[in-house]
Chain A
Amino acid sequence: MFINWIILLAAIALLIVLATKASRVMSADDESGFLVAGRSLGPFVMAGTVVATGFSGWGFMGSPGTAYQYGTIELLGNFFFAPAMVVAVLFFAVYLRNRAMKMGSSTIPEFIVNLHCDHRNSVSARTLRILTSLGMIIFLTVFLTAQIRALGILGSSWLGISPLLASALLLVIITIYTIAGGLLAVAWTDTFMVIGMVTAAIYIVVQVFTDIPLSDMMTQLNTIDPNLVNPESSNPYGSAKASVFLVFVYALIFSTALPYMSVRFLAMKSNISIAKTGFYTAILGGILSLVPIVGLYVRIKNPGLVNPDEAMPWYLANAIPSMAGSVITLFILFAMKSTANSILHTLSTAASHDLRLAIYDNSSGTEAELLKLNRLWVAIMATIAFISTFFLPEAMLSYLGIFSSGTLMASLSGVLLVSIFYKGSTMAAIASIIVGAVCSSYLLASGIVGWVEGPLLGSAASALTYVVVSLLVPNRIKATSEEAVKA
């Protein structure tokens, strides 16, 4: 236990050094430094932060458990996030960055408003902005709360303290560096942490395949149950074999329509090499996708686990030296933290930047005051999320994660994805956000469809509403100019 504290303190020291450096590099008198890292991210940091944010603790804890229970189908299902992130980087990132820069948008709600409204101060534009930022605040707070709880559970057994104290400790660290360096600190610490995560994945793969070569592993799994190697359905992703491919569509919407993923694209350097960024994303994502192999390995070594989710903890405690287990646990904490810090940053800017601009006029405060306000809101949102952990039922941790992120991505897929091909009206934007959120949350809450299908159907409903309402209620130039005159 003592050694774990030393490892953790060393990691914290490194994270704080990175954050201090980031706060110095980030121009202190400029709000865009805090919001979009001064649009300075290069290929490796860009790939690092996208992959670290996209791969949460699920890839290390939940996914090996699913692989233990269902076999190689999980290896394929979980892997789809890597190509989806690559496609998002290659085909979506530049479009989003260029359009946002042209319109002067530094956050996702700002981008959505600028894209759909002719006048930023009109009633409809303010409504759209309040709707987007409030939706983000609600769903991302739930998502962050779930992540903090997961951090607390893993941190408590690793450090020998209570889950509450562990989650508080880890949240304070995240909050400090997000306050210090904004998105730049988040991106740099993400990149540092993704190197740790990839190291853990490589160690695991080498250890597993040195012990049991791939072909032997498949032969032994086949003896236990042929469905583990050559499944007849896509369970748990659906009953048809092709259902697993829906995960790719889900992951693609996840990487582009979730604000805490896509805001990173706004922070890209203007002359960045997209090919290099895509290549690094493919390598980092590809390596992290191999982690569920642990589940297959543990299924052979210890087929009698009562709870499949214990596959990774069992592996760390029994299959490898305790020192390696300690370090890998730190890297799993990294995977959770790198997702949590990105959510915290996006969540707090939705309150400090977007909600403020939607409610008050543009002309309030100097850049230095705005920066202080942004930093203050990181602390406020972290406190709110921490207090919310007391009200969160533990049994529903994964469900709440899927529910909040799935609903948010469904509601924003009309305004962020369909708008690439077809620019809709303000009313269409408002309607599609509401329909996407209602549809996805109803489907997920009622349980009539699976966790992948709910958000996908919600996204489809949001996209359809966006197009239909745009055709029925287009933006009227005359009406908006009248509103502007009134304002």
Chain B
Amino acid sequence: MDLFLNSWTLFWFLTINIMMLLLTVSYFFAERHNK
């Protein structure tokens, strides 16, 4: 974790990866909820 906090490029790489996955997962639930 320290590694990602010590490098701003790696920090954003990890953060945006997580945001991207969260976005698709939240879409899954939204789609299921609408059915």
Q: A-side interface residues toward B, CB under 8 Å?
A: 71-73, 75-76, 79-80, 82-83, 86-87, 90, 214-215, 218, 229-231, 241, 244, 273-276, 278-279, 281-282, 286
Kindly list chain B residues whose C-beta atoms are within 8 Å of the C-beta of A86. 20, 23-24
Docked pose: A215 CA to B5 CA in angstroms = 12
Give the complex CA separation of A276 and B30 in angstroms. Answer: 12
* 25 cross-chain CB contacts under 8 A: A71-B9, A72-B10, A76-B9, A83-B19, A86-B20, A90-B27, A214-B3, A218-B3, A218-B6, A218-B7, A229-B7, A229-B9, A230-B8, A231-B9, A244-B9, A275-B27, A275-B28, A275-B30, A278-B24, A281-B24, A282-B20, A282-B21, A282-B24, A286-B17, A286-B21
Contact B13 A79 (CB under 8 A): yes
Would A286 and B20 count as touching, CB distance under 8 A? yes
In the complex, the answer to whether B28 meets A79 with C-beta atoms within 8 Å is: no
B-side contacts of A87, CB under 8 Å? 23
CB distance from B19 to the nearest CB of A (A): 7
Q: Could you tell me if B28 and A279 are in contact, using CB atoms closer than 8 angstroms? A: yes
The listed residue with most A CB atoms (<10 A of its CB), out of B24, B27, B30, is B24
Closest B-chain residue to A285, C-beta based? B20
**Set of chain A residues within 8 Å of B7, measured between Cβ atoms:** 72, 218, 229-230
Q: Which of A83, A87, A215, A276 has the most CB of B within 10 A?
A: A83
Which residues does chain B contribute within 8 Å of A230, judged by CB atoms?
A: 6-9
Query: Is A82's CB under 8 angstroms from B24's CB?
Result: no
Contacts of A71 in B (CB 8 A): 9
Interface positions of B from 1 to 35, Cβ below 8 Å from A: 3, 6-10, 12-13, 16-17, 19-21, 23-25, 27-28, 30-31
**Cβ contact of B27, chosen from A215, A241, A278, cutoff 8 A:** A278
Total A-B pairs in contact (CB under 8 Å)?
A: 69
B20 to chain A, nearest CB (A): 4
Contacts of B25 in A (CB 8 A): 279
Distance from A56 Cβ to chain B, minimum over Cβ atoms (Å): 21
B27 and A274 form a contact (CB under 8 A): yes
Bound complex: CA of A281 vs CA of B21, how far in Å?
10
How long is the Cα–Cα vector from A23 to B9 in the complex, in angstroms? 46
Contact A83 B3 (CB under 8 A): no
CB distance from A44 to the nearest CB of B (A): 14
Q: Is the CB of A79 within 8 A of B16?
A: yes
Point out the residues of chain B lying under 8 angstroms from A274, CB to CB. Answer: 27, 31
Chain A residues near B31 (CB-CB < 8 A): 273-275
The 8 A-B pairs of least Cβ separation, nearest first, read A275-B27, A72-B9, A275-B28, A279-B24, A275-B31, A278-B24, A83-B20, A76-B9
- Contacts A75-B9, A279-B28 known; 15 new A-B pairs at CB < 8 A: A72-B7, A72-B13, A73-B9, A80-B16, A218-B10, A229-B6, A230-B7, A244-B9, A275-B30, A278-B24, A278-B27, A282-B21, A282-B24, A286-B20, A286-B21
A80 partner residues in chain B, CB cutoff 8 A: 16
Q: Known: A214-B3, A218-B3. Contact between A278 and B23, CB under 8 A?
A: yes
Shortest CB-to-CB span from A64 to chain B, Å, is 16
B23 contacts A90, C-beta separation under 8 Å: yes
Measured between beta carbons, the chain A residues less than 8 angstroms from B24 are 86, 90, 275, 278-279, 281-282
Q: Which A residues are CB-close (under 8 A) to B10?
A: 72, 75-76, 218, 229
Residues of A within 8 A of B27 (CB): 90, 274-275, 278-279
Residues of chain B with a CB closer than 8 A to A83's CB: 16, 19-20
Closest beta carbon of chain A to B35's beta carbon, Å? 10
Q: How far is the CA of A215 from the CA of B2 in the complex (A)?
A: 9
Give A145 to B23 CA distance when docked, in angstroms.
37
- Give the chain A neighbours of B16 by CB distance below 8 A: 79-80, 83
Give the residues in chain B near A282, CB-CB below 8 Å: 20-21, 23-24
Cα–Cα distance between A278 and B3 once the two chains are bound (Å): 29
Q: Within the complex, what minimum Cβ distance (angstroms) separates B21 from chain A?
A: 6
